[in-house]
Amino acid sequence: MALSAVQRRAAEAAVARRAKPLLKRGRRIAAYTAVGSELSLAPLIRLARARGVEIWLPLVPRRGRRLRFARLDDPSGQWRANRYGIQEFVSRRHIGAQRLDLVLLPLLGFDEEGGRLGQGGGYYDCTLAFRGRRRQWKKPRLIGVAFACQGLARLPREPHDVLLDAILTEQGLRRSAAAAS
């Protein structure tokens, strides 16, 4: 599954183009800073900010597993590495996931049912657990972002796993089977 740098950049640009219908002025969208082989959202973030979308980036807590999100006001502002070496934007404006319209989740793998494979820390499952407790929670919408080649037939699932509403790849945005049911 090794992609060349050229293939990665082309896929990242395609994901930004495919995401255009999601990028509405005034929306609060959580993005992420890519780590390792995760698909970079840099082109998507630039496009979203140009369209008046509020971009929020995750902050890993010192204790516990519930993420907060920092508003990305100025990408040239101050950044710092968290305990995992992931760059986090330094901001005084933080919100919880319930106040977001959309969360773009980094994926290492996914299946058509909305199953996802991440880095394994459980932060997103803990942060988004409220979605599983009440059927009326429709927000934030959860969209996994990956390269199309990371799709798998079926991923194993635990009871606490939060399923995706849709998957966004360079080939397009498609609803998961979990969201369709």
- 151: β partners: 110
0.85 cut: is pTM over it? yes
| pLDDT value at residue 44 | 99
Instruction: Tell me: pLDDT of 178 over 90.
Output: no
Count of domains for the chain? 1
- Ligand-binding annotation for 119, yes or no, is yes
- Ligand-binding annotation for 9, yes or no, is no
- Ligand-binding annotation for 124, yes or no, is yes
- Ligand-binding annotation for 96, yes or no, is no
Q: Name the DSSP class of 7.
A: H
In order of 16, 118, 144, the CA distances from 132 in angstroms are: 28, 18, 17
- Ligand-binding annotation for 151, yes or no, is no
Instruction: Tell me: pLDDT of 102 over 80.
Output: yes
- Ligand-binding annotation for 84, yes or no, is no
- Ligand-binding annotation for 120, yes or no, is yes
Domain that holds residue 31: 5-180
- Calpha distance 135→112 (Å, rounded): 21
- Ligand-binding annotation for 122, yes or no, is yes
- Calpha distance 148→129 (Å, rounded): 26
- Ligand-binding annotation for 38, yes or no, is yes
Q: What would the pLDDT profile of 148-172 be if each residue is shown by its tens digit?
A: 999 999 999 988 889 999 999 999 9
On the CB side of 101, CA atoms within 13 Å amount to 11
Whether 27 and 54 have beta carbons less than 8 Å apart is answered as yes
- Ligand-binding annotation for 115, yes or no, is no
CATH code assigned at 101:
3.40.50.10420
